[in-house]
């Protein structure tokens, strides 16, 4: 069978589609990625071209979400960029007023590893006191994985042995070869589908917001809009964490740098 190709025009359509929906800018180098991610859907519908699939997206909202899920990058793991969690433990949490609820938002949580890493740190430092975490993502497929709290045992290598024993359960039966986050920890977490390029569906404020490794896919104007939106949900004195490979220099004013990729809102 001849391999299906993606024309430059078709690629431009999908670039405009994902930018319009999620604010993500696909570089010309991502053409092969689009082919790899979408070709199974084209074949699933028995279509003869990517152009036909693009036209189908305008008629089927559910398939639009499938395409968004496939075209968004979802690389993550437990304790990714560990210095952030050290700062959370050593500097932010000790200064939090005793008795006040501590709230964290993981704004691009993917399959949930970041959320549960934060939860383990909060459980270690704050114990049974009042704290909660919101995890959000644009991908419903990733959110389903995050809500399950179920991960392959190869991911266990990313966790300290004490955390694995304290906060995870070994899978049995059909879940053999995997582990699941403990129900007590999952009870402190909630997940929601949120598009960061649109108006936020809540007004609550957070003590810390993790916005890591997602802005690299946005153009400067989209970055400014997303940051303004999120910083409005960060309480005064709250911390913003971005990815180590990202920079917000010149995008927002008034933030104080605590450490590379970590900022405080005055």
CATH number of the domain within which 146 lies: 3.40.50.150
The domain boundary, picked from 71, 97, 119, lies at 71
Residues 128 and 236 in one domain: yes
Q: Strands 189-193 and 168-170: what pairing?
A: unpaired
* Last residue within a domain, chosen from 30, 49, 71: 71
Pair 206, 247 in one domain: yes
Report the catalytic residues.
37, 137
Q: Residue 183: what pLDDT?
A: 97
| 27 vs 188: CA distance, rounded Å | 38
pLDDT of residue 1: 40
Number of independent structural domains in the chain: 2
Within a domain: 146: yes
Q: Same domain for 143 and 41?
A: no
What CATH number has the domain bearing residue 64? Answer: 1.10.155.10
Which residues, including other chains, have CB under 8 Å from residue 205's CB and lie 6 or more apart?
103, 233, 234, 235, 238
211 and 101 share one domain: yes
Give the integer Cα–Cα distance in Å for 72 and 68.
6
Helix ranges restricted to H, 58-181: 61-71, 83-87, 113-126, 140-148, 161-167
Q: pLDDT tens track of the chain, all 266 residues?
A: 456 888 999 999 999 998 888 788 888 888 888 998 899 999 999 998 999 999 999 888 889 888 888 888 677 899 999 999 999 999 999 989 888 999 999 999 999 999 999 999 999 999 999 999 999 999 998 999 999 999 999 999 999 999 999 999 998 888 899 999 999 999 999 999 999 999 999 999 999 999 998 888 888 899 999 999 999 999 999 999 999 888 888 888 889 999 889 999 99
> 57 and 105: one domain?
no
The reply to whether 106 and 213 lie within a common domain is yes
């Amino acid at each position: 069978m001849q391999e299906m190709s993606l024309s430059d025009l078709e690629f431009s359509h999908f670039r405009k589609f994902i930018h319009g929906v999620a604010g993500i800018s696909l570089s010309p180098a991502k053409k092969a990625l689009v082919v790899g991610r979408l070709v199974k859907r084209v074949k699933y519908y028995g279509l003869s071209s990517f152009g036909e699939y693009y036209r189908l997206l305008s008629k089927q909202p559910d398939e639009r979400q499938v395409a968004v899920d496939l075209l968004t990058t979802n690389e993550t793991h437990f304790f990714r960029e560990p210095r952030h969690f050290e700062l959370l433990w050593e500097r932010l949490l000790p200064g939090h007023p005793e008795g006040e609820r501590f709230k964290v938002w993981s704004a691009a949580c993917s399959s949930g590893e970041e959320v549960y890493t934060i939860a383990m740190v909060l459980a270690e430092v704050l114990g049974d006191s009042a704290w909660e975490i919101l995890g959000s993502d644009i991908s419903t497929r990733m959110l389903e994985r995050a809500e399950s709290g179920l991960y392959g045992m190869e991911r266990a290598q990313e966790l300290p042995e004490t955390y694995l024993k304290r906060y995870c359960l070994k899978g049995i039966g059909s879940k053999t070869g995997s582990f699941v986050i403990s129900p007590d920890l999952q009870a402190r977490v909630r997940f929601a589908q949120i598009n960061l390029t649109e108006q936020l569906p809540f007004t609550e404020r957070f003590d810390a917001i993790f916005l890591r490794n997602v802005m690299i896919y946005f153009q400067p104007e989209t970055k400014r809009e997303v940051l303004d939106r999120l910083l409005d949900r960060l309480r005064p004195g709250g911390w913003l964490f971005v990815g180590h490979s990202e920079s917000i220099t010149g995008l927002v004013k008034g933030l104080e740098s605590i450490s590379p990729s970590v900022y405080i809102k005055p």
